[in-house]
Structure 1
Amino acid sequence: MSRLLVECTYVYENPKANSGIQRVVRNVIRELPAKELGRECIPVVMLQGKLYEVKKLAPPPTKTWDLVSLRERLEQAANLFWLRHRTLESRHVFSQSVWARRLLYVGCRLFVFGCLSLPIRLLNLLLKNRHVSPRIAPLEHRAGDQLVLLDSSWHADFFPLAEQLKRDGVGIISVVYDLIPLTHPQFCDAGLVKVFNRWFDWIARTADGYVAISTTIRDQLRQEMVRRIGEQAVRERWFDYFHLGSELDLMDATHPVAPSLLQLFEQTEPVFLMVSTIEPRKNHAYLLDAFERAWAAGSQARLCIVGKIGWKCEALIERIKRHPQLNSRLFMFNNLSDQSLEHAYRHSTALVFPSYVEGFGLPLVEAMQRGLPAMGSDIPVFREIGGEFMAYFDLDDPQSLANLVIDMEHTGVFPAKRNLDQWQWLSWRQASAQLVERIEGHIDAAVVDRETACG
C-alpha cells in the first residue's frame, strides 16, 4: 500500500494561526481522502528529530491560556510596541535629534528584550522540549512512502530528519505557495528572504516533485529551478499544481459577529471589502489613494480593511489611524473571527484586492464563492483564478480603481464580462482530492518508467 505522509508541523504547533497557508494546511488535512485499497494518507509532524502521526490536529478547547496562546499574545504585543515606537519617533523632539532617536531606540530595545523577547524565547524552549502530546503517536516510515511538505517549512528544523527519510527510500514532495521572497524581496523582511532562499536551495536539491497552488507559480518555479540547478536536473523532477478551496473552517456559531462590524453594515452606502494581512505587497496604500480620489469626486462608498497587522506597515497604519474618514467611510478590523469574516463577505458590495504579487489569492475565491464580486489587480495569477468573472484595474493608476468603484456605485452593475451566477469553484474536499490525485499520478508514472527501463 502506498502512503502519503502529509506534513503539518507548523499548524500543529500553532493551531490558532489563521493566515493563508495555515488555512490551506488545516483544510487539506481535514479533507484528506479516506484510506482506500492501495492508498493511505497520513497527516504527520516532525518534532525533535522524530516522525509522528497526527491523531488530532487541533488541541481541545480551553478557557485558560496555554503556552502557545501566551507566545502568540507576546508576539502581537511586540509588533504593536514597535508600531508605537515608530509613531513616537516621528514626533518633533526625536525627529530633530539623532541622539534622542538613538536613546529612544536603545530604551525600547532593552524594554522589548526584557519584557517580550526573552519570555518569547523561554516559551519557545519550553514548547520545543515539552512531552509528546496525546494528539500524536510515533510513526515508523518505510521505503516507498512519500513525504508531502504541505506546511510552511522554511523556518523548520526538521531537514536532517527529512534527508534521513530520503536515504531510507522515502520520496520528498514540496508544496510551493509562492516565490515572493525570491522574486520580490523588497516586500519581505530581510531575515525571511535569507531563510527562504536557503530553504529553496534545500528543496531544489532534495525534493523529487513539486506541487504549486496555481499554474502561474508552477511555471515560475520551474524557471527558477532551471536557473539554480540546470535543465538536465530539472528534467529528473516533476512539476504540477492544484487549486485551493473556499470554505471558512473556523466558523463557530457560538461566537457572535463583532458589534462594530454589524453596525457598519446597517448603513445603506456600499461597502468595498479588502481581506489580507497588512503588509507592503498587499498594496493597501494604493487602495487608500484610489478611494480618496473616489471620495473627492463625491462617492459615498465605504472601504473596510480586514486583516492582522503584519510587517513594514508602520507608516500605513499611522496613515489609517489619522485619516479624516476613519470610522466614517474608512474602517479597519485587525482581529475578526471567521464568523465575522463570513458576515463581511455576505454583506459587502464587492471585494477589492490590489496585490502586487500573489501565489493564488485565497480571498478571491472565498468572496466569489459566496456571491461577492471581486475587483483585483491585473496580474497573471488573478487572471488564472478569476478569468472573466472578475474586474481588473491598473496598478499604475489608482484612478482606474476609483472609476470602477464610482461606476458600480452609480449603476449597481458589476463591470465583469461574466456573471457570478455561472461561477463554480472547488470545495476543500475537492482541492485535497486533487492534490492527492496529482501526486499519485506522478508517482505511478515514475513506477512505470522504472519498470520500462528495467524491462
Structure 2
Amino acid sequence: MNICDSVSSNYENTFLMVGTIEPRKGHDQILRAFEYFLKEYPQYKLLIVGKAGWGNDNLIEKLNYLNVNSLNIQWKENVDDRELDLLYNSCSALIAASFGEGFGLPLIEAAQYSLPIIARDIPVFREVAGDSAYYFSGDSDINIAETLSDWVELNKQKLHPNSSTMHWLSWKQSSTVFFNKAIGVN
C-alpha cells in the first residue's frame, strides 16, 4: 500500500517529518506537542516518514497504534522516491526536530520543492537553512505546540520564511567542493 492509498490525497494541512526513527530525531516530542496543537487545529495532520531505528521500541509501538487509531497522525516506514517527491511537493511544511544532527538532508530536500521548514534551533540547521526556516527552541511540548500554531498563523498570511531562498549544492557540486578542499584547491 502506498501513501496515496492510505492518506488523504490532500496534503494542504499536513506536516511532514522525514528521517529514521531514533531518539535524537525528536519524533516523540513532536507527537506529544501535536496532541496539544490538535486541540486548536484539528484539521491538521502529521505524517512521519522513516524506517524504525534503534532505542525507540515504545515509540514504534505508539506509531503503529496511531496508524490504526488516528486520522491525524500517521507513520509510513517504507516510502519510495516517487511517493516522497509527492509528499515534499504537497505537504504544508517539513518539521525537523532533531536534537543533534550531522547535516539535515531533509531540509535540502524540502528546499528543492519550496516546502516551508519548521526546524529546531540547532547550529547545523542554522548553517544549512539560514533565514529560510522557521525555528523553534525549548523542551516543552506546549512550547512546540505554540510554535506550530504561530507558524500556521504566519502561513495564513504568507509570512513564514521561504525555503526556496535557501542556498544548497547538488551532490555533484558538494563532491567537487569536498574534493578540492581535500587536495588543497580553493
Same fold (TM over 0.5): yes
Q: 2:156 aligns with which of 371, 395, 412?
A: 412
2:122 pairs with 1:379: yes
User: For 1:314, which of 54, 57, 67 is the aligned residue?
Assistant: 57
Range with bigger deviation, 304-313 or 259-268: 259-268
Alignment of structure 1 residues 19-30 onto 2, 5 Å: none
Q: Give 1:343 shift.
A: 1.1
> 1:281 aligned to 24, 42, 53, which one?
24
Aligned to 2:93: 350
Aligned match of 2:77: 334
- Say if 2:10 is the partner of 1:271: no
Flag the 1:311–1:421 CA change in 2: closer, same or farther, 3 A: closer
**Which position in structure 1 is the counterpart of 2:168?**
425
- Cα distance change of structure 1 residues 262 and 400 upon mapping to structure 2, 3 Å threshold: farther
Deviation at 1:335, TM superposition (A): 0.9
TM-score, normalised with respect to structure 2: 0.88
Contact 1:270 1:409 in 2 (8 A): no
Q: CA deviation at 1:409?
A: 3.4
Contact 1:301 1:409 in 2 (8 A): no
Q: 1:362 aligns with which of 102, 105, 115?
A: 105
Cα distance between partner residues in 2 of 1:403 and 1:283: 16
Question: Which among 47, 54, 60 is matched to residue 304 of structure 1?
Answer: 47
Structure 2: distance between partners of 1:324 and 1:338: 21
CA distance in 1: counterparts of 2:137 and 2:172, whole angstroms: 35
TM-score, L = length of structure 1: 0.38
Quick check: 1:286–1:398 contact (8 Å CA) kept in 2?
A: yes
Q: CA, structure 1 residues 261+296, in 2 after alignment: closer, same or farther (shift >3 Å)?
A: same
1:270 partner letter: N
Contact 2:16 2:94 in 1 (8 A): yes
> 1:226-241 maps to which residues of 2 (within 5 A)?
none
Matched, 1:439 2:182: yes
Distance 1:371 1:383, change over 3 A: same
Matched, 1:388 2:151: no
Contact 2:112 2:164 in 1 (8 A): no
Q: C-alpha displacement at 1:432, in angstroms?
A: 1.0
- Greater C-alpha radius of gyration: 1
Shift of 1:415: 5.5
| CA 1:332–1:423: 2 relative to 1, 3 Å | same
Q: 1:392: Cα distance to partner? A: 0.9
**Residue aligned with 1:332, SS:** strand
Question: Relative to 1, partners in 2 of residues 1:268 and 1:285: Cα closer, same or farther, differing over 3 Å?
Answer: closer
Answer yes or no: is the 8 Å Cα contact 1:269–1:302 preserved in 2: no
How many Å separate the matches in 2 of 1:400 and 1:371? Answer: 26
The answer as to whether partners of 2:96 and 2:120 remain within 8 angstroms in 1 is yes
Contact 1:307–1:334 (CA under 8 A) maintained in structure 2: yes
1:44-443 to 2 correspondences below 5 Å: 259-261=2-4, 264-267=7-10, 269-323=12-66, 326-410=69-153, 411-413=155-157, 416=160, 418-441=161-184
Q: Deviations over 1:225-266 (max 9, x none)?
A: xxxxxxxxxxxxxxxxxxxxxxxxxxxxxxxxx543355242
How far apart are 1:290 and its partner, in Å?
A: 1.1
> In the aligned structure 2, how far is the partner of 1:284 from the partner of 1:296?
19
Q: Give aligned-pair identity as a percent.
A: 36
- Give, as a single letter, the amino acid of the residue that structure 1 aligns with 2:180: E
> Which digits, 9 at most, give the CA deviation of each residue in 1:299-348, with x for residues without a partner?
32100000001111111112223349844001110011111111111111
1:278/1:310 contact within 8 Å kept:
yes
